[in-house]
């Protein structure tokens, strides 16, 4: 089994219910959720003319390899009504793979660790709540230290 850290976000509809439903869908497809952070209300990043997001980080176990996990996540997002619009635009649900074990992985569709996570408080704050001592495999800094460095 592989340990993964995911960040969920929603800024359309009932944000809390959307995140809850996405977590249930992750469990149904075989991701065992071990820990969940609190919910964080955060201002949008990138494109700011949209409602605030609700974010939550989760720690889970999965047997999926990275690209298979991404495929499952994309299925969940589509099932919940996510449609591709402008980059960083509003969405019913967004699920990002932040860390996958301690690997560094790059393909056309997926980069692990998430390439912008260390610059985003809305990722680091909830992640720090559940995994403060996890070491970023490329930057060699803990999640707590990355948050302090912001």
pLDDT in tens, the chain (150 residues): 999 999 999 999 999 999 999 999 999 999 999 999 999 999 887 777 778 999 999 999 999 999 999 999 999 999 998 666 656 667 889 999 999 999 999 999 999 999 999 999 999 999 999 999 999 999 999 999 999 999
Tokens standing for residue 135:
């070491």
Q: Which residues form the domain of 91?
A: 2-115
Which is the catalytic residue, given 82, 87, 109, 133?
Answer: 82
Q: Is residue 129 part of a domain?
A: no
Q: What's 119's DSSP letter?
A: G
Which is the catalytic residue, given 71, 87, 91, 133?
Answer: 91
Q: Is residue 145 part of a domain?
A: no
Q: Is residue 6 part of a domain?
A: yes
Residue 96 and residue 74 in contact, taking contact as beta carbons nearer than 8 Å? no
Q: Is residue 12 part of a domain?
A: yes
State yes or no: is 52 an active-site residue.
Answer: no
- Per-residue confidence (pLDDT) for residue 86, from 0 to 100: 59
Q: Is residue 61 part of a domain?
A: yes
- Residue 47's CATH number: 3.30.70.560
- Per-residue confidence (pLDDT) for residue 1, from 0 to 100: 96
State yes or no: is 91 an active-site residue.
Answer: yes
State yes or no: is 82 an active-site residue.
Answer: yes
Residue 105's φ and ψ, nearest 5 degrees, are -140, 135
Q: Is residue 120 part of a domain?
A: no
Distance of CA 63 to the CA centre of its chain: 18
Q: Which residue has the tokens 């497809």?
A: 29
Which is the catalytic residue, given 15, 52, 78, 96?
Answer: 96
Q: What's 58's DSSP letter?
A: E
- Per-residue confidence (pLDDT) for residue 45, from 0 to 100: 76
Q: Which residue has the tokens 């449609």?
A: 83
Q: Is residue 13 part of a domain?
A: yes
Partners of 6 in the β-ladder: 58, 97
Tokens standing for residue 129:
């709540």
State yes or no: is 101 an active-site residue.
Answer: no
Alpha-carbon gap, residue 119 to 116, rounded angstroms:
6
- The number of distinct structural domains making up the chain is 1
Which is the catalytic residue, given 52, 94, 101, 109?
Answer: 94
Q: Is residue 36 part of a domain?
A: yes
């Amino acid at each position: 089994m592989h340990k993964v850290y995911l960040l969920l976000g929603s800024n359309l509809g009932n944000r809390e219910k959307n995140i809850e439903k996405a977590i249930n869908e992750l469990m149904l497809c075989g991701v065992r959720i071990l820990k969940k952070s609190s919910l964080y209300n955060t201002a949008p990043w990138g494109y700011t003319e949209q409602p605030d997001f609700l974010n939550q980080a989760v720690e889970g176990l999965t047997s999926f390899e990275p690209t298979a996990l991404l495929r499952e996540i994309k299925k969940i997002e589509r099932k919940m009504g996510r449609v591709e619009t402008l980059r960083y635009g509003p969405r019913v649900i967004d699920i990002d793979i932040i860390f996958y074990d301690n690997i560094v992985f790059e393909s056309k569709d997926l980069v692990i660790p998430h390439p912008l996570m260390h610059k985003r408080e809305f990722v680091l704050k909830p992640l720090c709540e559940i995994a403060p001592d996890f070491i970023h495999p490329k930057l060699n800094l803990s999640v707590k230290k990355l948050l302090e460095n912001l």
